[in-house]
Chains A and B, each alone.
Chain A
């Protein structure tokens, strides 16, 4: 650790501040940003699943991808490429989403929850770290999804263009889509404010290479603490932001917003996310940003995550949050299907890890 990457620290601080601001403006608590939850809400809005409480076409996703595209084009870094095991990446994206929805959040929301005082997220963090170590084990053994190749520019623009078209449709013909009337999906900041904030964050994330899986990976593998500084910056900004806005009430596992205290499943869900993210080469946020830069494989990964979210709700895999209604406390947690799905996920990731790990030729 020689030099501090100030761009990344500033990006992290702004992501944290934006997350707190978006929640103050209407997004669900401790969910200023959550790539998994927002893709899940988009799957709901487009009626790929019918869980009535999680349906909203989140403009943050549009903004993050487009912000990355605009910054990549401006910085001459937009490169259309694809061909690095796209079907495998689709499956990995699918199970990363299954794991994230068992825990109730992607790595970014995990950090936001940690900064919001949700101790359940610290358990998730432990799982995420274990998953990353498993992934690193296979990377060191020679795991690779092989090379990407240069493709036509149009291939790199598929996801950004699709999101623009959906964005226009959401505004022009909202009746096409499902919108939650209650629950997390009904809570959202004003559309254009979310969009603009996400455009800025997407652009900064592209330039700074922010990645929550990559940070821990590089720290462990290369003793390179460059990326992990973004992780720490988000945590600090969220914590301070919550304290300043009077939203912080200490650290606890009890009745945290959109969170459950089934710790084994918080842990195992995030093991799946960490492991899958390392095999993919980046966390869900990073996949969005790479897709914005023209990476067709990451676009496929995002589609895998959307389908994973739809399956999670259609088959009752996702965790349910703890709640308190009329003094009746419900612990929430994971149903049998979700538990089975996590173990199927481990089996699939193990097979993918082994099959794609080449014994060294030397």
Chain B
């Protein structure tokens, strides 16, 4: 599963990274590491709009989103 580390990146960089990954590789599943609530919302929205199911795992101040193609 490909993993995108978008910790510490400000909007809209996390979504840009996810968009690039989805466009290039169209992965069936990927995970995104994030550390801001705002980015979690933005990436979740983008992934859902692009046909992914999103599961969030919180670990302390960080969140891992696991996106699976529906």
Q: Which A residues are closer than 8 A to B by beta carbons? A: 2, 75, 77, 79, 81, 83-84, 139-140, 144-150, 209, 214, 217-218, 221-224, 226, 281-282, 295, 297, 362
Contacts and interface: CB of A to CB of B under 8 A. Distances in A.
Q: Interface residues of B: mostly helix, strand, loop or mixed? A: helix
Given A77-B37, A218-B12, A224-B46, 16 more contacts: A79-B35, A79-B61, A83-B8, A84-B10, A140-B16, A144-B9, A146-B9, A149-B8, A209-B38, A214-B11, A214-B12, A222-B15, A226-B45, A281-B11, A282-B11, A362-B24
Contacts of A282: 10-11
Contacts of A297: 10
Given A77-B37, A209-B41, A221 B12 contact: yes
A362 B2 CA distance: 15
Interface in B45-67: 45-46, 48-49, 61
Contacts of A81: 8
A361 to B, nearest CB: 12
Contacts of B48: 2
Contacts of A77: 36-38
Interface string B1-43: 0000001111111011001000010000000000111100110
Contacts of B11: 214, 281-282
Interface of B: 7-13, 15-16, 19, 24, 35-38, 41-42, 45-46, 48-49, 61
Nearest to A206: B38
Nearest to A81: B8
Contacts of A218: 12, 15, 42
8 contacts: A77-B36, A147-B8, A147-B9, A218-B12, A222-B46, A223-B49, A224-B45, A362-B24
Nearest to B35: A79
A222 B10 contact: no
Given A77-B37, A79-B61, A221 B10 contact: no
A140 B17 CA distance: 10
Nearest to A76: B37
B16 to A, nearest CB: 6
Nearest to B8: A147
Contacts of A145: 10
Top-10 shortest CB links A-B: A147-B8, A281-B10, A148-B8, A77-B37, A281-B11, A209-B38, A147-B9, A222-B46, A144-B13, A139-B16
Contacts of B61: 79, 150
Contact of B12 (A139, A148, A149): A139
Contacts of B16: 139-140, 221
